[in-house]
């Protein structure tokens, strides 16, 4: 399946400690958000979005809800120096979406699941695109000398 929609603007990355997210545990304190935001604007976001849109299971109505609710702008990307990777936090719809009456077209758990899964997949593809095609820096973390050598 593919999603034929206009590529949204990349998110502006806020200075949030990623350890505040339920789904992230990051060592260190230099998250290189300014660098990542610049790379997103230089083409990483558009490249990743295009790749994601070509394969996503989200349809246009699911995407319209995500856009109406401003979810795309709430993505966060950060450098995880310890793991030598780009980490992310994908926005999503809360479990109490029905009680909160978030959107008039939001009417099923299937739609909620499609939106949450689709945004998670988009976040992962953005991270992979950044790391594989845009980032040219190395992790600063150096392992201690007393770690066992498992290669021998």
Note the pTM of the prediction, 2 decimals: 0.84
Residue segments in the chain with a per-residue pLDDT below the cut of 50: 141, 143
As beta bridge partners, residue 77 has 88
Domain ranges of the chain: 30-132
Query: Which tokens in the block code for residue 60?
Result: 């246009």
pLDDT of 37-54, one tens digit each?
999 999 999 999 999 999
pLDDT at 109: 95
- Whose structure tokens read 């990349």? 10
pLDDT at 130: 96
| Non-local CB neighbours of 89 within 8 Å, separated by 6+ positions | 18, 21, 23, 24, 75, 76, 123
pLDDT at 108: 95
């Amino acid at each position: 399946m593919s999603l034929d929609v206009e590529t949204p603007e990349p998110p502006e990355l806020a200075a949030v400690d990623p350890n505040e997210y339920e789904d992230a545990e990051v060592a260190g304190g230099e998250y290189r958000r300014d660098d990542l935001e610049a790379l997103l604007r230089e083409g990483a976001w558009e490249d990743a979005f295009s790749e994601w849109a070509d394969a996503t299971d989200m349809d246009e109505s699911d995407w319209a809800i995500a856009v109406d609710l401003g979810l795309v702008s709430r993505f966060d990307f950060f450098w995880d120096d310890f793991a030598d990777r780009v980490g992310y936090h994908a926005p999503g719809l809360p479990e109490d979406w029905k009680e909160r009456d978030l959107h008039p077209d939001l009417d099923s758990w299937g739609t909620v699941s499609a939106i949450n899964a689709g945004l998670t997949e988009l976040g992962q593809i953005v991270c992979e695109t950044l790391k594989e095609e845009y980032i040219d820096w190395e992790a600063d973390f150096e392992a201690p000398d007393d770690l066992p050598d498992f290669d021998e």
